[in-house]
Amino acid sequence: MDNIKFINKPSEFDFTTEDCITIFGNGPSLKDIPKGYNFQGKLIGMNRIDSFIQDHNIKLFIYIFITDNIANKEWGNEWYSSLYNGSQVSEKTIISKEVYQFLLNDSRKTTQEILSSELYVVNCIKEPRLYMFNSVVYPKEYFTKSGTSINFASQIALLFKPEKINFYGVDLGWKTTSSEKQYDPNHYHSNYFARINSGYYENARMHHVHDMLYKIFEKNNIKIKNFSPRTIVECYDVYDLETNKLVKNKEIIKNNILKRHLLTLIDEMKNDLKRMIVKFLIFMRLK
């Protein structure tokens, strides 16, 4: 199908240079944005952002959906609905090869509408082996998606070679939630449905990703403005939604960054130990 492009390297995206890119997270501070607000540049959103763009009657240039939540037994249908809605109100939709395969095997009529939209299927997303060292990359040979969808969206934004990037709904401040469907305090969408086993760890892990993104933005002389009133992200300047004036300076605190590195490393070691124990038990059972 001519409307679907398969991407094996970041350079295969055919984006033109843009002065400004706006990226929407899904944080609760999106609720603070008044209707009729004027967003600048090309707009990029992801995941369950569809309810926000419908509420504000805006259209995205790029909608991103690379999560496996679409196949989740608890809330997959809700995430599928967001993929459908997002793809219908965006100029371009980016999905992973796993999501594309899911759609090919899905029999719903609306799936054909998704597959008929302008799609980019990305085949070059890699999960880093050592999260703390290469969870964020400048997209040359491949992308990463670790930590937060903002990571991948920011790598897409870098392909436009922008002078500035504006963030909205990039809050963090995660609170622990159960696997049950419940009111979600961590997102704009009250029924976002995402399991947060440890709010403390998620904040540390995603702070780490933003620390790494900041280094890439700084190296490429990209000015970052975070218009998220409830944000606890430390490494970006925070601006007022109405006046566009600086309200909080970024804080590059070395000790905090080292602490987050340590927390992610400890978690990796725990996960590796769990995998080793499971493999050993399976081996002993088969013996």
Give the pLDDT confidence of 177-228 residue by residue, as tens digits. Answer: 665 555 666 666 677 666 666 666 676 777 788 888 999 999 999 999 999 9
Q: Is residue 273 part of a domain?
A: no
**Residue 198 is part of a domain; what is its CATH number?**
3.90.1480
In a domain, 209, yes or no: yes
pLDDT at 207 (0 to 100): 79
- Give me the chain's average pLDDT, please: 83
- Number of domains observed in the structure of the chain: 1
24-45: average pLDDT: 93
84: pLDDT strictly greater than 90: yes
Angular region, 220: left φ>0, alpha ψ -120 to 50, beta rest: alpha
Q: Is residue 29 part of a domain?
A: yes
Q: Please give the pLDDT value at position 148.
A: 72
Residue 96 falls within a domain, yes or no?
yes
Question: If phi over 0 gives left and psi between -120 and 50 gives alpha, with beta otherwise, what is residue 57?
Answer: left
Residue 283, in any domain of the structure: no
**Residue 64: pLDDT above 70?**
yes
The pair of three-digit structure tokens given for residue 262, joined into one six-digit string:
């340590």
pLDDT at 139: 86
Domain-embedded: residue 274: no
Query: Which of 27-31, 122-126, 160-164, 202-206 is predicted least confidently?
Result: 202-206
C-alpha distances in angstroms, 216 versus 113, 164, 165? 37, 13, 12
Question: Mean per-residue pLDDT for 157-162?
Answer: 96
Q: Does residue 182 lie within any of the structural domains? A: yes
**pTM of the predicted model, to two decimals?**
0.83
80, part of any domain: yes
Range of the domain at 158: 4-253
